[in-house]
Structure 1
Amino acid sequence: MVESSKSDRPPERLLPKLAALAVRHADPLVAILCVAGLVALLLLPSLAKNTYISENALIPGSASPKFAIRDAMNAAQFARDLQALRQNVTDRPRVVRSFLINHLVAINADFYVHAFYPPEPPFSSLNFFSSHPSYLRSSVETNEIPPENLGVNIAGIIRAPRGEGIEVIVLVTPFDAESFTDADAVSLGLSLSLFQLLSKSPWLAKDIVLLIADSRYSAHSAVSAWLKEYYEPFSFGGPLFHGSTSQQEFYARIMDAPFASLLKESTLADFKRAGVISAGLVFDMQGVQGRLLSDFLTVHAEGPNGQMPNLDLINVINNLAVYREGLQMKLDMATNILEWAWLGIIGQILETLGHFAAMINEGWKFGSPAFEYVQGAATLARSVMLQAFGVPTGVHGAFRDYQIDAVTVIMTFAQAHGGQVGSLLKFGRLVEGTIRSVNNLLEKFHQSFFLYFLAGPSRFVSVGIYTIPLMLLLVTLPLKAAAVCVQRTECSAQATETSSPLQASSIPVLPARNFTNWLFAVLTVCVIELWALTVTIFPPIANYLADTSELKVTVWGAYSSLSCLLCFMVLVWVSKLLGIPNSFGSSWTSLKASTLGLATIGVGIMSPINFAAALAGVIVLVPMCFLACPFRKQKGMFQFFLGLALCLFCTLLVSLFYTEQPKLTLAMLWEWVECQWKWGSATYLYLSLVHLPCSVLSMILLVCNPDK
């Protein structure tokens, strides 16, 4: 009978046994996972892959460019004519707009003038995640805006001879008529020459829109307003012209009389549309740098909340620039880490390991030269930083709001190398080749990667690789939380068994005190989260109460401190009202487990929104939450030195995010908050609703007096 009872017992499952074993040996396992995650993070530059064209239909460089030396000379002439118009200081905007419209009329292209309202201040409302709240104004507000303060975009459309008007490619050239520079003149000259060439191209299958964006209130605001009207024409709620100002009077103020009468007598002032926007290309001239030996271009691709365009679009530009036009493509890099000696030592070690691996098997390609590793690490760190900030790095960010692949190309040429005409010839062929490749597509970009980090102009780290360090570091948080919970439960069960021998023979029942400790810990986390929420939405109030940036930050900090003390008073009052013992010492293990759980949930939610911010955040949260333990409860020196080493390493990594401005001030902090609020960046919410509560809870755990 005993044997039959043993045979009827269900077999133990493997997964619960492995979970129990992992929780039982949590401390050494957490140490191994942390070291593995940091090593995987350092290996990312070596694991970067070479870029390649995934979509065969793009075939960059397959056709001979039609942008010839004559077109480059026309672009230079347009630039000289625009530079001559700068002499008219009194009426410069009207003269420049009339010049641009005159050439659009000569090309026989459809064109129109798009007027838009100036954007509102970032703290004018609490609409944080609304699409474009700065362009939704009531009739009362618009009556107070004079026509001279409205932004004016000029758009031209080329109808494709081989297309049906279903898709369109948008070219954007920002310019400011008020502060008109030589670089703006060269950019406009190149865009007019390219537009003139494309109007005669028989191979076009997609329409072309040239948007000359008025950057008086920033080029991003101009492009955002145009896209808003393009896709959501009924979102403004009313006509732009009303009251005493008519449409004809407005155009008479912004351009010369002949063109104003042309708009008055025809429908050219109406907003015209083409097909669905398949891609956007923003190109601008940075200027002339005489010390350069060759021309180069810089590509900006980071969009809002770390969104990136399809990698094929960047690959096409790099392929055409490097292999056909002989241009050098550059990306922003964290230049300060190029001098880090320990990073060079790691590069030397990886290079040596690569040589040994190649001696064993020639097919094992591991490692790279040390200088390439350092440069790749600098570029990768800059790419992660720009994505983690959650703010677009150029005008192309406006297109990402509508899931349109777009990049910004900044062109810089050396006047001593080939002259201005030779540089314009190369850049013109580059833009033409990019348009020709996108024109070959029969559908939107979808073949290549959307989630990646750039480690160089022709190297990238895909999503399948850079998720490894995040997962290795993130899994340590719930593992440590489970170990803390099990340790607390076992201690409570042993105490119950010792105090009640009769209960030890039956099923162990946890004491009521353990439940109250958990209830107090959860209540503490909820109160701290509510406090963090009020701190998050306080900047608009601080902006109203103070004038200078330093005073605004001071008001914000004073409110945060006083409200934090008030929250602790509310916590004590609520715990007394519910009959819960309000002691951090008796419930510190439950509070630590709750803190680890909060960090896990926050990073898990942030990772699909902005993976770079989640990766940078988990590097800071892991050592901070592990060190969140009362000083009197530190068991041995291993845990302390492990946490200290993690903190030092994370400080070095976080210092990458301050490469441009090593000295932080209160004014810079407020400008950063304004920028985050303006773009609706989730990084601001992530820092204020996850990192700030976890920091406060960690400090509580460090200073609390645990019960014996």
Structure 2
Amino acid sequence: MAGTKVQSEVPKTRQRPIVRLGVLLISHSLLVSVLCCTAGVLALLLLPVLAKNTYISENALMPGSASSMLSNQEVSEANKLIKDITSLYSKPSTAAIESRRLIAQYMSNLGAEVNYHKFHPQPNEFHPLHFFSSPDAGMIQENFSCASYGVNTVGVIRAPRGDGKEAIVLMTPYNSVNGDLQEALPLGIAYSVFSLLTQVTWLAKDIIWLVADSQYGEYAAVAAWLRDYHTPVFSDLSSLNTELCHDSSYILDLKENSNLERKISYEFRRSGTMAAALVLKVAYRNEVEDTLSIFAEASNGQMPNLDLINIVNYLAVHRQGYRVKVEKVWSLLNSKWLKILGEIFESLGKFVKSLNPDWKFGIPVAEYIEGTATLASSLYYQAIGVPTGPHGAFRDYQVDAITLEISPRVSFNNKDRRNDFLLQGGRLIEGVIRSVNNLLEKFHQSFFLYLLTSPSKFVSVGVYMIAFALLVAPLPVVAASLYAETHNLIPTSEKEKSAADDELGSVIRSWKWLNSAKRVFIVHLWGAMVSLFPYFISQIPNCTPTTNFHVWFLLSVFSLVILKWILGSPFSQLCGLQPQEEWAILKSVTISSFFIGLCLMSVINFATAEIGALLMVPTSLMAHPLKLDVRGGRFLRFSRAICNLVLGVISFPPATFFILKGMFEGYSGINAGDFWNWVESLWAWNSATYLYIGMVHLPCWILCVHVLLHPC
């Protein structure tokens, strides 16, 4: 139609829902941070309430399905072994020699294949290239002392129904130099079980009894044997050792007993893949009842399959009448704030139950306090990455292993009670071995990532990762918000959207964040350098831990001053940033790098990432120049400055260590050397937590302090 004006409207482009959600979160980053951090801490405190009862996932285990076959006959033979060993203590000069020969003879009399394993103990030393790598091969060095060698005694029972491709290891540490009755009792328990297993017909897996020479440390002896077990040496080391050590015949006097010579040798005895390993120890703690303590944490937070702990707990409680214990943070049991929190959760549980009886929430106050103390211990020992016993050496080779420490309610000198004690402990070990013997494959059905709140309750990774996810969720949101606010990228109306899109391209091309990224990168390099300082400091002779700590601190500060001079050079002004833009972008890049570091650490050791997020996320989110807060003169700004100072002190690694140590153990005996000793244990055991502290946590803390002290 002529004269008709056709007006065409340009259709509005609508953003995708995910983009709109991202813009919404970024524009309300403060609210998101408060809600997520509060929810993360609350989720962490709720873990004892959300813990589930343990259960046997692998039906083939069938713990307790068969009656125990261990009788008083095996116990009497075990008592004879204990008596013979303890009688050697009156001859300290020859006790070590004779006790090894005696144990080997008892093993050999049962028909087992017996051999001695000589090893040279390797002290744990810090080396920057040994993280995440296997230990050295342990070859004989040119300069050595024959007296410094340890000797393990190993007995192997071949399974009548097996093919030699699988084995179960029973390990008992024994100090042949300073042995006592407490050291001899585990040998008696293990010997009674070993004697029984030579007679049964149902055995489908070989049994290896390792009597580890613990005079140089339990872990060192087991680690040396496992290293040689999995790394065969194709040379005649037995003859080499005999030629080099003229007194090596003291271990086995070939002239006195030719029959024993034919049964025992230095040739390394092997079996197949290890299905599981049990470390048996005995300790007298003046308990009210017979107790069994379970230690499961291995290096870098590794845990055995939960089914192994479950069958031990089931057999110990329901078959042998033990009170099973796991480690706790004992100081939390008397915590008043924890009691108040438990009362709140208990009241909430009663209220929820009144609404619907089928809803189960809340636990008694006493159970919550004990569960929290156990959870804190489990989280701590997983986080530091140091094994809690010699079972950690097995876990390094992906063998499920735990340490069992039995504590009787009466003294070891009570001979009438000793038979019952040996029978009770032997039947527990027999039941566990019988359950593992039923497996047709390795443990895989149950959990490998979990936290214990009691011997019969656990929190799986699917539950406790929620707290970590909530804690770290604000980090990318705040980082994006800071960057967007600095460059005015958050549109406030429909009219500004197109202008913001045009500006986005120009900002990306400007690379204004490059200066801050350079600073963050250099500070992380400084963190790596600080992590290497102890390697050189440890070479200084005759230095106390306190002196080493002071030297480490001074070197770190001196290197930081040099970096500060580099960061303050004219090169830092190339991008032409305003002061208010500079600190905001620096904080944004810092938070981004910390988020990446936490996510990487969660893959290596989740417990370390959880504790690191709890300490450092609030510090990094609240970091704001103190000069601006003080200049503002408002109460909220002044409160934020105070919170920043408090969080800055708490999140500093040495301060965190001393605060926690003082809370749990008291402040009376604290000195600077304690922190050095603690860190030394981390690097000596190649703990990834040491790398996290030096290369993630400390650089992030330094950058946050830099933001706080920024001269706006």
Structure 1 length as normaliser, TM-score?
0.91
Whether contact under 8 Å (2:122, 2:138) holds in the other structure is no
Distance 1:241 1:442, change over 3 A: closer
- Does 263-272 or 671-680 show the bigger shift? 263-272
Within 5 Å, give how 1:613-632 maps onto structure 2: 613-632=608-627
Distance in 1 of aligned mates of 2:636 and 2:54: 43
Report the residue type matching 1:575 in the other structure: F
CA contact (8 A) 2:146 2:245 kept: no
- 1:687 aligned to 690, 693, 698, which one? 693
Q: Which residue of 1 aligns with 2:392?
A: 397
SS of 2:346 mapped into structure 1: helix
Per-residue deviation, 1:167: 0.6
Q: Secondary structure at the match of 1:347?
A: helix
Tell me the alpha carbon deviations over residues 179-222 of structure 1, each in whole angstroms, 9 at most, x when there is no partner: 11211111112212221111111110100000001112211111
Which amino acid in structure 2 is aligned with residue 229 of structure 1? D
The percentage of aligned residue pairs carrying the same residue is 38
**Partner residue in 2 for 1:469:** 467
Matches within 5 A, 1:12-411: 12-123=15-126, 126-133=129-136, 135-137=137-139, 142-234=141-233, 240=237, 245-246=242-243, 249=246, 251-258=248-255, 268-287=265-284, 289-290=285-286, 292-411=287-406
Between 358-367 and 637-646, report the one with greater CA deviation.
637-646
Give the aligned residue type for 2:423: L
CA contact (8 A) 1:51 1:459 kept: yes
- The CA distance in 2 between the partners of 1:505 and 1:114, in whole Å, is 73
**Deviation of 1:66 (Å):** 1.0
SS of match in other structure, 1:537: helix
Provide the rounded CA distance (Å) in 2 between the counterparts of 1:409 and 1:56. 23
SS in 2 for 1:507: helix
Q: Which amino acid aligns with 1:151?
A: G
- The equivalent of 1:666 in structure 2 is 672
Counterpart contact for 1:75–1:192, Cα < 8 Å: yes
1:622 CA displacement = 1.1
Per-residue deviation, 1:633:
3.3
> Amino acid of the residue matched to residue 458 of structure 2?
F
Single out whichever of 420-429 and 247-256 deviates more from structure 2. Answer: 247-256
CA 1:155–1:701 in structure 2 vs 1: closer, same or farther (change >3 Å)?
same
SS of match in other structure, 1:408: strand
Q: Which amino acid aligns with 2:701?
A: S
Deviations 1:442-499 (A, max 9, x none): 01111111110000010101111101111001011111111111110118999xx99x
AA matched with 1:551 = T
Deviation of residue 679 (structure 1)? 1.5
Structure 1 residues 3 and 672: alpha-carbon distance in aligned structure 2, compared to 1, 3 A threshold: farther
1:594 aligns with 2:593: no
Counterpart in the other structure of 1:458:
456
Tell me what 2:433 maps to: 435
The equivalent of 1:550 in structure 2 is 546
Aligned-residue offset at 1:673: 2.3
CA contact (8 A) 1:517 1:587 kept: no
1:70 positional shift: 2.9
CA distance in 1: counterparts of 2:491 and 2:515, whole angstroms? 20
CA separation of 1:402 and 1:243: change in aligned 2, threshold 3 A: closer
Gapped runs of 5+ residues in structure 2?
none
Instruction: Assess if the C-alpha contact under 8 Å between 1:183 and 1:285 holds in 2.
Output: yes
Inter-partner Cα distance in structure 2 for 1:419 and 1:348: 42
Contact residue 242 and residue 249 of structure 2 kept, 8 A: no
Task: Indicate conservation of the 8 Å contact 1:520/1:581, yes or no.
Answer: no
Per the TM alignment, residue 585 of structure 1 is displaced from its structure 2 partner at its CA by 5.8
Q: Match of 1:535? A: 530
- Name structure 1 gaps, 5 residues minimum: none
Q: 616-625 or 265-274: which moved more?
A: 265-274
Q: What secondary structure is seen at the aligned counterpart in 2 of 1:246?
A: helix
**Structure 2: which amino acid aligns with 1:401?**
D
User: Once the 2 structures are TM-superposed, how far is the Cα of residue 572 of structure 1 from its aligned partner?
Assistant: 3.5
Between the aligned partners of 1:414 and 1:699, the Cα distance in structure 2 is 54
CA distance in 1, matches of 2:550, 2:660: 27
Query: How far did 1:594 drift?
Result: 1.0
Code of the residue aligned with 1:616 in structure 2: it is: I
TM-superposed CA distance for 1:53, in Å, is 0.6
Deviates more, 1:350-359 or 1:596-605: 350-359
Give the secondary structure class of the aligned counterpart of 2:568: helix
Describe the shift of the 1:91–1:187 C-alpha distance in structure 2 as closer, same or farther (beyond 3 A).
same
Q: CA separation in 2, counterparts of 1:100 and 1:599? A: 55
Normalising by structure 2, report the TM-score: 0.90
> What does the per-residue CA deviation read over 1:500-526, in whole Å, with 9 as the maximum and x for residues that have no partner?
xxx979933687899465222111111
List per-residue Cα deviations over 1:643-695 (Å, max 9, x = no partner): 96796798899866777644443332222222212211100000111111011
Instruction: Please tell me whether the aligned partners of residues 114 and 264 of structure 2 are also in contact (alpha carbons under 8 angstroms).
Output: no
**One-letter amino acid of the counterpart of residue 279, structure 2:** V
Q: How far did residue 90 of structure 1 move?
A: 1.1
Q: State the SS of the aligned residue for 1:622.
A: helix
Q: 1:447 aligns with which of 445, 450, 455?
A: 445
2:314 alignment partner, SS class: helix
- Give the total of aligned pairs: 690
- Asked if structure 2 preserves the Cα contact closer than 8 Å seen for 1:204 and 1:439, the reply is yes
Distance change >3 Å, CA 259–CA 519, structure 1 → 2: farther
Distance 1:484 1:536, change over 3 A: same
Residue 92 of structure 1: CA displacement?
A: 1.6
Distance in 2, matches of 1:469 and 1:611, equals 11
Distance 1:512 1:344 in 2: 53
Give the whole-Å Cα distance in 2 for the aligned partners of 1:393 and 1:521: 42
- SS state of the match for residue 487, structure 2? helix
| Pairs within 5 Å for 1:571-590 | 571-573=567-569, 575=571, 579=574, 586-590=581-585
1:438-517 matched pairs, under 5 angstroms: 438-490=436-488, 507-508=502-503, 515=510, 517=512
Q: Which moves more between the two structures, 665-674 or 685-694?
A: 665-674
Match of 1:570 among 553, 566, 570: 566
Following TM superposition, by how much is the alpha carbon of 1:124 offset from its aligned partner in structure 2, in angstroms? 6.2
> Does the aligned pair in 1 maintain the 2:296–2:402 contact within 8 Å?
yes
In structure 2, the residue corresponding to 1:391 is in which secondary structure?
coil
Letter matched to residue 371 of structure 2: G
Q: Which amino acid aligns with 1:519?
A: L
- Name the CA distance, whole Å, in 2 between partners of 1:264 and 1:186: 27
Displacement of 1:355: 1.4
Work out the CA distance in 1 between the residues paired with 2:403 and 2:142: 35
- Cα 1:252–1:478 change in 2 (3 A) is same
Query: What residue in structure 1 maps to residue 408 of structure 2?
Result: 413
Q: Deviations over 1:210-238 (max 9, x none)?
A: 0001112211111111111111114xx96
> What is the alpha-carbon distance in structure 1 between the residues aligned to residue 456 and residue 641 of structure 2?
37
User: In structure 1, what residue type is equivalent to 2:533?
Assistant: F
The answer as to whether partners of 1:627 and 1:640 remain within 8 angstroms in 2 is: no
Higher mean Cα deviation, 260-269 or 394-403?
Answer: 260-269
1:17 counterpart letter in structure 2: R
Q: Contact between 1:169 and 1:280, CA under 8 Å: does it hold in 2?
A: yes
Determine if contact 1:303/1:391 at 8 Å carries over to the other structure: yes
Aligned Cα RMSD in Å? 3.1
